[in-house]
Amino acid sequence: MSKKYELKNLTSGKTSEHKAISGTIGPDVIDISNLTKEQGAFTFDPGFMATASTESKITFIDGDAGVLLYRGYPVEQLAEKSNFLEVATLLINGTLPTKPEIEAFTDSITRHTMVNEQLLGFFRGFHHDAHPMAMVSAVVASMAAFYHDTMHIGDPRHREIFAHRIIAKLPTIAAAAYKHTLGQPFIYPRNDLRYCSNMMNMFFAVPCEPYGIDPVAAEALDLLFILHADHEQNASTSTVRLAGSTGTNPYAAISAGVSALWGPAHGGANEAVLDMLDSIGSVANIDKFLSRVKDKNDNVRLMGFGHRVYKNFDPRAKIIRDMCYKVLQKMGKSNNPLFELSLRLEEIALKDDYFVSRKLYPNVDFYSGIIYSALGIPRSMFTVMFAIARTAGWVAHWQEMVSDPNMKIGRPRQLYTGPIKRDYQPIEKR
Ligand code: CMC
């Protein structure tokens, strides 16, 4: 029998009945779509602490158990056995691709990596010290002006071309942003290279000498991309969905997602973690730093710790921490003082009642910057790397939403606490 909930107005005694909807796994949700009609009231849940904003078949998180599944597959298995482009097709299409399917997808992505030459001209308009996230967000939005030939979001083929273009071109745009900050010439994509090797080449090659791509680095990047590819209704994905729900151009929706990701509470945390480690400086200063974190008046957070959903270890953080050992060793950078510092910081924090009682554990951003740094990627590009990977998830969610015949514009309500109706006063009477 299906479960039902009753909501009672304790003043008037009026009740309303709400059915529970069960997913395949995870807690039920209570359908309150009839609440306003029945009770004349809205629910109030700032920050969506107890609100499911949508139904989705893409990613599942059990925050208490530290479980993350993409289309049902544990992220640990995908990290060990898959690669980023395969994970991207899995997220978008729902099934692991067959050999011909992944070959066709990889070929299409490889052949869409170039961007319109005019689009590269945008970078000349940015100051050399512009943050790459600002440039990437702006240039992604500008793609709407270049690729409007396939913008009928109701047409599955148009949606597919959009998906391939954005996944293929984002590394090219990211590399152009990076080269602009360096004042170096832009390096064109190479179709003989795989996704991450091509990206490394566009980032680090210069026209005057050959650049040897380190396979260890490309493999590490691919693994990081798998781990960042999706995370259900996080702030940036919800932003892409909300913007996309108006029927806007999908590049504009992705650009909105890039902007939402930038904040330090979300994807910007990877950059903030390394700034924090620098400011701590050495193991001897950890206790002093943690006292500041625990002091409510100090407004300092332990960056890379805590998560809205995980109240246990973020499974991605565990994989990335293990990866740090391997990558640093393989690259001959085992004595990495920032890694040592972060390990000690984690150890001390996880024994401290402040973090234990609040169930604050390392999240995906705690260790990822250590690897990006070891690969030579500068701090200001960390969140851009996150954006490249998360594009797969954003596209999957956008596709899922716009192909739903029942798609509705996202339009939350509010609790109004401003002034009641009052009359306009002429300036001399104010
Ligand atoms: N350092 C110190 N205290 C913390 C932290 C932290 N990193 N995170 C949460 N708290 C405390 C917070 O002060 C509050 O304490 P109290 O109950 O005494 O007021 C309690 O824990 C609950 O925190 P909250 O801010 O209400 O939790 P939230 O679910 O709204 O925020 C979060 C989640 C990720 C924004 C937050 O944990 C945070 O700011 N962490 C640091 C930034 C970070 O690492 N962000 C990356 C998140 S994972 C990747 C991604 O989403 O992109």
Compute the distance between CA of residue 126 and CA of residue 119 in angstroms, rounded to an integer: 13
pLDDT below 70 — which residues of the chain?
1, 150
**4 three-class SS:** strand
Distance 307 CA to ligand 1 centre (A): 6
What lines the ligand 1 site, CB under 6 Å? 47, 234, 265-267, 269, 293, 301-308, 358, 360, 363-365
In contact, 145 and 138? CB cutoff 8 Å: no
Amino acid present at 107: D
Helix then strand then coil, % of the chain, to nearest 5: 55, 5, 40
Compute the distance between CA of residue 199 and CA of residue 109 in angstroms, rounded to an integer: 13
In order of 92, 416, 426, the CA distances from 419 in angstroms are 46, 9, 18
pTM greater than 0.85: yes
pLDDT of residue 91: 98
| Chain mean pLDDT for the chain | 95
Compute the distance between CA of residue 375 and CA of residue 392 in angstroms, rounded to an integer: 22
- Paired tokens of 342: 């972060």
pLDDT of residue 1: 66
**15 three-class SS:** strand
In contact, 36 and 21? CB cutoff 8 Å: no
In order of 47, 66, 312, 340, the CA distances from 355 in angstroms are 21, 17, 11, 20
User: Count of alpha carbons within 13 Å of 430, Cβ hemisphere only?
Assistant: 5
Amino acid present at 302: L
pLDDT of residue 147: 86
In order of 4, 139, 144, 388, the CA distances from 256 in angstroms are 37, 12, 12, 14
| Residue 307 known to be catalytic | yes
pLDDT of residue 167: 98
Out of 363, 364, 386, 390, give the residue to mutate to test ligand 1, the one with the largest number of ligand atoms within 8 Å of its CB. 363
pLDDT of residue 332: 87
Compute the distance between CA of residue 219 and CA of residue 227 in angstroms, rounded to an integer: 13
Out of 286, 358, 359, 382, give the residue to mutate to test ligand 1, the one with the largest number of ligand atoms within 8 Å of its CB. 358
Compute the distance between CA of residue 192 and CA of residue 147 in angstroms, rounded to an integer: 25
In contact, 197 and 414? CB cutoff 8 Å: no
